[in-house]
Amino acid sequence: MTATRTITFTLNGAPVSADVKPHHNLVELLQTHFGLTGARETCGQGLCGCCTVIVNGRSVSGCLYLASFVDGADVRTVEALDGAGKLSPVQEAFIEASAFQCGYCTPGFILMVTQLLDEHPDPDEEQIKHYLTGNLCRCATYPEVMDAVKLAARKRKAAASA
């Protein structure tokens, strides 16, 4: 259809390259070129958070973010969080608090919660709600996510003081 272009970027710490077309978005790039399906497209409008990806340290909606824009960038996905097979404190907290049902929205929530706790290690409920307004869950696991965030904050604190 249209011209293909080669981009190079860092994906979960490793240098990679891919041939992309101008209309490919980041979700499609991750799924088709790298087999990473943790970021997934639901609304396609930047409103649900299921497609969350971290680009240069900032969360973006992969459904609206053109693949060619990550040329030269540092890209991190949910698949990077359990490095060396060890779950992150946020992931552990989501399991312990039962903060998912179907799990389709879960990677997006986990990335956002990780970023939230990086910025506010000890958030109150209002901060949590506010930070996570862009993440929707049709299974409505919001009460459990709230518990998971608080639990993750405690886990991270304990790990830091250990």
Partner 1 sequence: MATTLNPAAKAGAQVGRSVPRLEGRDKVTGRAEYTHTMRLPGMLHAKLFRSTVPHGRIKSVDTSAAKKLPGVLHVVTVDDVRKVLPHPYYGPAFHDQPILADGKVRFVGEPVAAVISADPHIAEEAVQLITAEYEELPAIYDEVEALDTNIFVHEELKPAGTFADLKHLKGAKGTNLALDYRLRRGDFDKAYAAAAHKFEHEFKTQKVLHLSFEPFACICDYRETGVTFYDSTQGPSFVRTEMARLLGWPENKVRIKVPYLGSGYGSKLYIKLEALALALSMIARKPVKIAYTFEEMFYQITRHPSTFRIKSGVDKDGRIVARKCEVFWNGGAYADIGPRVTQKSGLTAAGPYDIDNVWIDSYALYTNMTPAGALRGFGVPQLVWAYENHTDMMARALNMDPVEFRRKNLAVEGKPHATGQMLKDHPVDKVMDKVLERMEWSKPFDKGGSGHIKRGRGFAIANKAVISPTTSVAIVNVAADGSATLYCGTVDMGQGSDTAMAQMVAEILNIPAEDVRVTPRDTDVTPYDMGTLGSRSLFHMGHAVRRAAEDARDKLKALAKEVGEPEGSNIPIADLFQKRYGMQAGNVIGSGIYKPDYTPPAPGTGQSPNVTPFWMVAGSGAEVEVDIETGHVKITKLVNVVDCGKAINPKSVETQISGAALMHLGFSMFEKMHLDGGQVTNASLADYKIPGFHDLPSVLESHYVEHDQSNGPFGAKGVGEVATFCVGPALANAIDDACGVRLMEMPLNAEAVYRAIRAKQGKPLEEA
Which residues make up the interface to ligand FES (CB under 6 A)? Answer: 41-44, 46-51, 61, 63, 100-106, 137-139, 141
Report DSSP state, residue 39: S
What are the structure tokens assigned to 122, written together?
Answer: 């000890």
Closest approach of ligand FES to the CB of residue 1, in Å: 23
61 binds, among partner 1, ligand FES, none (CB under 5 to 8 A by kind): ligand FES
Q: What is the DSSP string of 87-137?
A: --HHHHHHHHTT--SS-SSHHHHHHHHHHHHHH-SS--HHHHHHHTTT---
Closest approach of ligand FES to the CB of residue 155, in Å: 21
CA dist., res. 117 & res. 98, Å (int): 19
73 binds, among partner 1, ligand FES, none (CB under 5 to 8 A by kind): none
142 binds, among ligand FES, partner 1, none (CB under 5 to 8 A by kind): partner 1
In the three-class reduction of DSSP (H, G, I as helix; E, B as strand; rest coil), residue 33 is classed as helix
Q: Which residues bind partner 1 (CB under 8 A)?
A: 1, 21, 23, 31-32, 36-40, 42-45, 47-48, 50, 77-79, 81-82, 87, 91, 94-96, 98, 100-107, 110, 128-129, 132-133, 135-144
Which residues, in sequence order, are bridge partners of residue 11? 14, 75
